[in-house]
Amino acid sequence: MPESEVKPQVELKYAELKPFPDWCKIFGKTCELFLEIGIGNGEFVEWLGKNHPEKCFLGVEVNRLYFKKAVNRIKKADLNNVKLLHAEGSKVLCKLFAPSTLSGLYLNFPDPWVKKKQKKRRLVNEFFPWLLQSRLKVGGFFLMVTDYQPYAEEVIEFFSKCKAFVPLWDSRPIKNEFPNYYHTKYARKWLSQGLPLFYVGFKKVKHLEIPEEVLNYYPILRLEGDEALPAVVIKVPQKVSLSEITFPEGVVWRDKNLVVKILEVFKGKNSILLDILVSEGSLLQRFFVVIATHPDGLIVKVHDSELPDPTKGVHTAISILAAEVLKSFPQAKVVQNQCKSSVFNNVLKSFQIQPELRKAP
């Protein structure tokens, strides 16, 4: 196929994107950048791309089936200013957009999770406006449309408490008609029944520091650039068996904002594989950790099959497993440590292990 006929790459991979990527390079041009979270089958983001060729749009969808439909739709439309990503919206905002770089966010019919026990799953909560204001440019907007009035009213309450925002329309943050707004198939069906829609809009007018409780809720915000995943190399006595190391399944660490759980342990001749779940604020990460032989002894590291974001919780998980190894072999020493020192030392002390006595000379 001639170079001029090469189709633009539509689908991006979250795991392959470094923090704060160069979006101009990804899109192949300099332009304003907009985000739609929850693109469904891609109808709305396709309309945006076709009607605003001078702008760039990233569409995010967590449902894999809908995401595939959206990818096929954008490929068929042959749009070079639309990219799609299979990921959770708040993770994308935290990791992939540097402060004050986003021009606008569209949110079409987010799941309202109407049951009381489900409300915590809502994307927009009391913390979300603080996250969004950190990523939007001054003058950038938030625009949501929903058919569920209680959710619209709650979103207005949350944004009104964050003084980085003001209402988008003449001191009013909500309206029932928006003539120039594209109606998706879902919206058209709803309106055809004579039922109302609720448009909620806010504009960023100033930048505010992110409160500590928001950083705790979105732990990826604490990452500083392209951080390496934690790993620990431990020098052990020459004749050791991995079968001597035991790992308790279940919750192995719990504090105010963090839970680490070992779901299952798989033992092999030369390695141990552990299925790990880390719950940290709003972030849930599941990944495998491998403990395997190493030229210097044993290594404890994240398995390559699934690479989590290297948050404090992931550092804690690796530190806990390293501590179990050290506990099993009293003469063992730490040769290399890529865990955060404060996290590693705190975990070792909880195991009643003195960090300074377990370092190799």
**Number of domain units in the chain:** 2
The arithmetic mean of pLDDT across residues 295-318, rounded, is 94
Asked whether residue 145 falls in the same domain as residue 69, the answer is yes
Q: Residue 242 — very low, low, confident or very high, per pLDDT cuts 50/70/90?
A: confident
Identity of the amino acid at 69: K
**Residue 235 CB neighbours (<10 A):** 17
* Domain of 214, in residue numbers: 8-222
Q: β-strand 231-235 against 250-254: which pairing, if any?
A: unpaired
Alpha-carbon distances of 212 from 216, 218, 219, rounded to whole Å:
6, 10, 10
Measured between alpha carbons, how far is 228 from 339 in angstroms, rounded to an integer? 9
CB 51, CB 34: distance < 8 Å = no
The catalytic position among 111, 147, 275, 296 is 111
47 with 175, same domain?
yes
pLDDT tier at 3, thresholds 50, 70, 90: very low
Please state whether beta strands 136-146 and 198-204 pair in parallel, antiparallel, or not at all (unpaired): antiparallel
Asked if 98 and 213 sit in the same domain, the reply is yes
| Domain termination residue (choose one: 222, 240, 255) | 222
- Domain-terminating residue out of 202, 222, 242: 222
The answer to whether the beta carbons of residues 335 and 358 sit under 8 Å apart is no
Same domain, yes or no, for 156 and 104? yes
Give per-residue pLDDT as tens, 106-128.
999 998 888 877 778 899 999 99
At 2, the pLDDT band (50, 70, 90 cuts) reads very low
Is residue 83 within 8 Å of 59, Cβ to Cβ? yes
- Residues 115-168 have pLDDT tens digits of 877 778 899 999 999 999 999 999 999 999 999 999 999 999 999 999 999 999
Output the six-digit token pair for 288: 């495998």
Q: What does pTM read for this prediction?
A: 0.91
Same domain, 28 and 103: yes
Is residue 240 scored above 80 in pLDDT?
no
Q: What is the pLDDT of residue 4?
A: 46
DSSP conformation letters of 66-129: HHHHHHHHHHHHT-SSEEEEES-HHHHHHHHS-TT-EEEEEEES-----SGGGGGG-SSSSSHH
Which pair of structure tokens corresponds to residue 349? 């002390």
CA–CA distance, 40 with 275 (Å, rounded to integer): 31
Domain-embedded: residue 1 = no
Task: Please count the helices (runs of H) and the strands (runs of E) in the chain.
Answer: 10, 16
The mean pLDDT value for 238-257 works out to: 87
Which CATH number belongs to the domain containing residue 67 in this structure? 3.40.50.150
Helix (H, G, I), strand (E, B) or coil at 26: helix
Q: Does residue 136 lie within any of the structural domains? A: yes
Sheet holding 333-337, edge to edge: 250-254, 258-267, 271-280, 283-294, 297-302, 231-235, 333-337
Is 111 a known active-site residue? Answer: yes
What would the pLDDT profile of 171-211 be if each residue is shown by its tens digit?
789 999 998 899 998 899 999 898 899 999 999 999 999 99
Q: If you average pLDDT over every residue of the chain, what do you get?
A: 93
